[in-house]
Every structure is written in C-alpha cells, then in structure tokens.
Structure 1
Amino acid sequence: MTTATHSDPRPSGPDQAGPRPSGVLRDSRSVFVREIHPLLRDPLNIVFSLMQPLMFVALYAPLLGGMTGAPIGQAFQWFIPGIIVMIALFGTAMTGSNLLYEIQSGAHERMLVAPVARSALLVGRACKEMVPLVLQAVVITAIAALWGFRPSLPGMVAGLVVLAVFGLGLGALSYALGIASRERDWMFWTVQQGLLFPLMLLSGMLLPLENGPRWMQVLSAFNPLKYMVEAERALFNGAFGDPAVWHGALAAVLTAVVGLWVGIRQMRHSI
C-alpha cells in the first residue's frame, strides 16, 4: 500500500519561512552589491544622466536671476536645492523600467528562485539608486559653486540623507509599478509620465508657487515633493530650525514607509 504525498505549491523562499531581520539585511546587502557592480564598471551612465540637470543650471537659472534681479549666486541658493530634488525625482522614478526589462528578459524570474528574501530584492535595488543620487548632487553642487553657490556643508549632508530616504520610497514605488505593468509595459510609461511632471511643477522646484493661482497652491499642499524642495532649500542654506526641515523629513519618512510597503508586497507576489 502506498501513501500519496502532496507537495506544497507555494514558493519556499526565505520570505515564506519568515526570515530573521539580520537575514533580510544580509540579503539586501548582497543584492545591493550585485546591482552596484554594473554602475561601477560603467560610470559614464552617471555622467550622461547629469546632462538634463546641467542644462537647467546653465540655461534656466540665469533666466530666473534675470526675472528676480538677484545675482546669479543668490539665485543659485534658491535654485540648486530644487535641481537636486529633480535629480532624485527623475532618477528614482525611472528605476522601475530597469526591473521591467529584467522581467521581460527572464532575469528577474531567475532572481526570484535565488536563496534570498524577496523583500531584499527590492530593498537592495532601491538602496543602490541612492549612490548615483549622491554622486550627481555632489557634482552639481561643485559646478554651481563656481558661480557663487555656497551651501552649508552640514546642511547639505543632512539634506542628502533626507533626500535618500525619500528616494528609497519613490524607487520602491517605481519598482512596484514596473511589476504591476509587466504584461503591459506601455502602462508603466503612461503612469510614470502622467505623474512625474505634475509632481514636479506643483513642487515649486523651478518657480515659486507663492505667485501662482490659488488652485495650484491648494494642490501643491498634497504634493510630498513640495515639502522635500522646501526642506532642501532650508538645509542647504543652513536653516536647521526652519519648520520646513521637519515637514520635509516627515514627508520623506512617510514616502519611504508607503513605498517600501507597496513595493515589498508587489515583489512577494511577483511571478
């Protein structure tokens, strides 16, 4: 007499067994190292990604200075922190396209059967996106310093930390969107472009919103990017006591919590 055995069809990865936090951190580090190697082998990607923000610095900031009548160095004190937030916005919002390509090529499916927690696949990837963000911010700041931009160094460090937390959540949301649109890649670009530019324009990143219509000011109050821009301007100018700092820090933490929750949930249920 034989007894039939039934195998559990569910994945047997680390997340199913409830890995210890130390295991998730170790796996996240392994994924981070894997993802950072292509960037280190081809640093020109960081250089080319700087082209757009450099064009804004070279062409838009002088126009802004001419409109306000302020010296270019003073205009940079207001403008450059917003450009650094722009770098974080565009950089992290694009990360889901890389995951979407890996899904379509089959590389992501091979990663899912690796002996690592699925949550670590997302956390490690998202942390990797912080490296080019910091490098690009340093380069932009150094170039703007040639025209009189004088940031507070402690404030700049604190601002980049806050921005990294925000970018972690935004990158996770981009990954979640990439997974959700794996069978319809056009949906990723439609949603991403449909949200990206309204978020940017309603943040006061390029022009102050104080002189805009009332309806834009009301909409901007629901835009977490607005609080990030205001916090970065305060920190880069050394105004640690400005209420905008903790407003931006709170927006960054909430974005990270929501982004990681949504992203990890999507990663655990990805095929």
Structure 2
Amino acid sequence: MSTATLDRTTAPAPTTARDASWPAQVAHVSWRWFVNLLRQPWGLGVAIVQPVIWIVLFGNVFSAVGDLPGFGGADYLTFLVPGIVMMTVLYSGAWAGTGFIDDIRSGVMDRLLSSPVHRSALVTGQLVQQLAVSLVQGVCVIGIGWLAGARYDGGLVGMAVALGVSLLLAAAFCSLSAAVALLARDQTALIGISTIIVLPATFVSTALMPPALLPSWVETAARYNPLTWATEAARTAMSTDVDWGLVGTRSLWLAVLAALVAWWSVHAMHAYQRSL
C-alpha cells in the first residue's frame, strides 16, 4: 500500500454539521450573523444614536418631573437612564425577527433547514448576536448618561447587574420577534405586531415616570409589564440602597419569561419547517 493511500485511509474524516456539538453549531450560526452585522455597521450606529436622542429629548422635556412631590428626590436624568437602557434593548429586540424574514425571502432559511443543524441552534445563534448588540447598546447608554450628568451610586456592580437584567429583557423580546417572524413570514406583519407590543409596553411602565406619578390604572398595569420589572431591577441596583430581594425577584421573572419565549421561538422554527 502506498504512502498516499495510507494517508487517505487513516486521515480523520472532515467534521460535518451533524458531527459538530450543539455549542459549535451555535457558534457557527452566530458568526454568520456577526458577519452580516459587520457588513452593515450603520445598523449598530443607528441603534446607538437612537438612545442618545431619547436621553436628550426625554431628559430635557421631563426634567421638571424631578421637582414634583412624590418623585423621590433623585435627579431625573439618573432616574431616566435605566429606563432608557431597557427601552433601547426592548426596541432592538422587537425588530430582531427581520433577519429571519430576509432569510425566508432570499431562500437562505430553506437551505439552512435542509442541513443537519439543530433547529434550536439556528434560533440561539441569532439570539447570541442580538444579545451582543444589546450589551454594546447598554454600555453606550450608561456611558452617555454619565457624560450627560447621571450618577450611579451602585458603582460597577450596580451597572453590571443592570446590564445583565437588560440582556434578560432583550432575550425575551428577541425570541418573541423571531417567533412572530417565523409564523407571520411577512415584514409588514412583524413591524405591525412589534409596534402594537412595544409602544404600550413603553408608556404603561415605570421607565419614564415613577409609580407615584402614574394614573392608578397605569400603575396597576405596569406591575405586570416586563419592561417595568427590568427597569425597577436596574434602577435599584444602580442606587445607593440596593434592594437585592427586588433585583432577584424581577430577574427571576424575566428569566422565566425569556425561557418560555425562547421555547416558543424554537417551536415556531419547527412549525415553519413542517409547512414547507
């Protein structure tokens, strides 16, 4: 037997998608989404500029709210920044499904589904990229808020907790957007459904106003709003007197919600494949 023949018979077979572990599959899918992001960096730029506008706009329009009785005595900008962080990842997550819509339209999704890659890896890979974008957005918002005059008495730990909570919120809404995209398969429908969800979620929450200054029915509804859970957890984590019980409880609620919606998004992927 020749050396060339021996080398061919003893060389290990190339690793296929079926042989790759689930984390490796997720990493490959995530890398694809990161490459797409690098090819269109303006998307990330817009996602960072938008919260800057919110900080300037809301910070100036509602600055007098800090002088009202019942506000709590904190500077309004300091109060506002955690809410802006959560609003930013909420809106970013709500449009995450547009990537799947593009894949469906271009035929890429059908090719991916013909491969042996786990369906959960296809969903999780895109989610990883979206969470990385949300993390960058959160860091930028906190930094810009500090430059604008907000102060975070909770220090680095408080900021880290706030960013962690924002990722839980982002995971829930990214997965929700992905599920809607896979079921609706239409850009207009996704935008309409996302708008119906995020606008009420924004204003029926404590992101912009403390509970004491909200109408009673809004205050009641806000208690069941994931945006309120995330904002309250981040706000207390970044304050002087941290209520870790509140932080833990709200974080647990968000984690459960994120897990349930992630399961739904994987189920939506299987439903899409069965419809082909």
Shift in CA distance, 258/238, structure 1 to aligned 2, threshold 3 Å? farther
Q: Which residue of 2 aligns with 1:219?
A: 221
Equivalence for 1:198: 200
Alpha-carbon distance, 1:143 to partner? 1.9
CA shift, 1:58, in A, is 1.0
Residue 4 of structure 1 corresponds to: none
Aligned ranges 1:102-141 → 2 under 5 Å: 102-141=103-142
Query: What SS does structure 2 have at the residue aligned with 1:141?
Result: helix
- Structure 1 residue 177 and structure 2 residue 180: aligned? yes
| Distance (whole Å) between structure 2 residues aligned to residue 143 and residue 187 of structure 1 | 34
CA distance in 2, matches of 1:116, 1:134: 27
**Cα pair 1:119 1:268 within 8 Å, conserved:** no
Task: Among all aligned residue pairs of Structure 1 and Structure 2, give the percentage whose two residues are the same amino acid.
Answer: 24
Alpha-carbon deviation of 1:171? 0.7
When normalised by structure 1's length, the TM-score is: 0.85
Give the distance between the partners of 1:238 and 1:97, measured in 2 at CA: 40
Shift of 1:238: 5.3
Encode CA deviations 1:163-215: one digit per residue, 9 max, x unaligned.
21221222111100001101x44332222111111111112112223222222
Unpaired segments ≥5 residues, structure 1: 1-12
Q: Match for 1:176: what amino acid?
A: A
**Cα separation, partners in 2 of 1:164 and 1:108, compared to 1, 3 Å:** same
1:248 to 250, 266, 272: 250
Distance 2:29 2:260 in 1: 21
Q: Deviations over 1:76-135 (max 9, x none)?
A: 221001000011100011011221121122111111122311110001101110111111
Bigger shift: residues 162-171 or 252-261: 162-171
Determine the structure 1 residue equivalent to 2:80: 79
One of 248, 252, 261 as aligned partner of 1:259:
261
Q: Which residue of structure 2 lines up, in the alignment, with residue 66 of structure 1? A: 64
C-alpha distance in structure 2 between counterparts of 1:34 and 1:268, whole Å: 21
Counterpart amino acid of residue 58 in structure 2: Y
Alignment TM-score, normalising by the size of structure 2: 0.83
Paired with 2:243 and 2:111, the residues of 1 have a C-alpha distance of 49
Number of corresponding residues = 250
Residue 162 to residue 64, structure 1, CA distance change in 2 (3 Å): same
Structure 2 stretches lacking a partner, 5+ long = 1-16, 69-73
In structure 1, the partner of 2:37 is 39
Question: Which is further off, 124-133 or 156-165?
Answer: 156-165
In the alignment, residue 228 of structure 1 is paired with which amino acid?
A: A
Q: RMSD between aligned alpha carbons? A: 2.1
